């Protein structure tokens, strides 16, 4: 009986260690390479590294999807778009809603779409570090970033660590995933207690 309780306790702890400490990993080579290149560039300027932000990633992906069929000659190419403006991206409010971003947390953010045929990595990085976009990439004001790529388009969304640029959600301060982990842990714990 004692060994069954010990086994149950061990499995309970092992399960929680795996579930609670693991994070899903999504790889996108173009976007990860761009983040690394931009952070290397910022490091050479003694600026802090940008931190990848899940909501900024979502927004950048949605905007890249919207721009996918646009030609590189589009006026959106190389434009700097304030999230509070919907003139160049009419579906922006829809993207905010889908990514669960409160529009009030985007005031200090910036959207930087560029079009580079075949998304050649060095040319994409150059479009961010050697053009008008460089003033945003160079700024220590921006601390978080998200990236989205579709066809020839790369979209970078920059945010700040202020409430006006955090790209956060006003809906909930508790992560839905974290809440799910807690609920699952509670139910599993109760199950093991009932079984033993």
pLDDT of residue 104: 86
User: What domains, with CATH codes, occur in the chain?
Assistant: 25-168 (3.40.33.10)
The pLDDT of residue 70 is: 92
Query: Would you state the pLDDT for residue 10?
Result: 60
pLDDT of residue 168: 78
Q: DSSP code of 81? A: B
pTM across the whole model: 0.72
Rounded Cα distance, 74 and 45, in Å: 31
Q: How would you write the pLDDT of the chain (196 residues) with one tens digit per residue?
A: 666 676 665 655 555 556 555 444 334 788 999 999 999 999 999 999 999 999 999 999 999 999 999 999 988 888 888 876 766 888 999 999 999 999 888 888 999 999 999 999 999 999 999 999 999 999 999 999 999 999 999 999 999 988 877 787 754 444 444 555 555 565 555 455 666 6
Alpha helices per DSSP H over the chain:
2-21, 29-44, 54-67, 92-98, 121-129, 134-138, 176-195
Which candidate, 174, 190, 175, 178, places its Cα nearest to that of 20?
178
């Amino acid at each position: 009986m004692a060994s069954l309780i010990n086994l149950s306790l061990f499995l309970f702890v092992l399960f929680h260690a795996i579930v609670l400490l693991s994070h899903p990993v999504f790889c996108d080579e173009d976007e990860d390479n761009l983040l690394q290149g931009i952070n290397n560039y910022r490091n050479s300027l003694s600026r802090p590294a940008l931190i990848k932000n899940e909501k900024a990633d979502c927004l950048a992906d949605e905007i890249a999807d919207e721009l996918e069929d646009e030609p590189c000659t589009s006026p959106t190419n190389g434009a700097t778009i304030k999230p509070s403006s919907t003139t160049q991206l009419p579906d922006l409010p829809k993207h905010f809603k889908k990514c669960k971003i409160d529009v009030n947390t985007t005031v200090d953010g910036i959207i930087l779409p560029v079009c580079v045929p075949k998304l050649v990595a060095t040319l994409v990085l150059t479009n961010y570090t050697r053009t008008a976009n460089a003033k945003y990439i160079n700024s220590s004001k921006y601390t978080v970033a998200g990236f989205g790529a579709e066809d020839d388009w790369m979209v970078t969304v920059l945010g700040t660590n202020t409430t006006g640029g955090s790209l956060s959600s006003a809906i909930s301060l508790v992560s839905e995933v974290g809440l799910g982990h807690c609920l699952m842990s509670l139910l599993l714990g109760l199950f093991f207690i009932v079984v033993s």
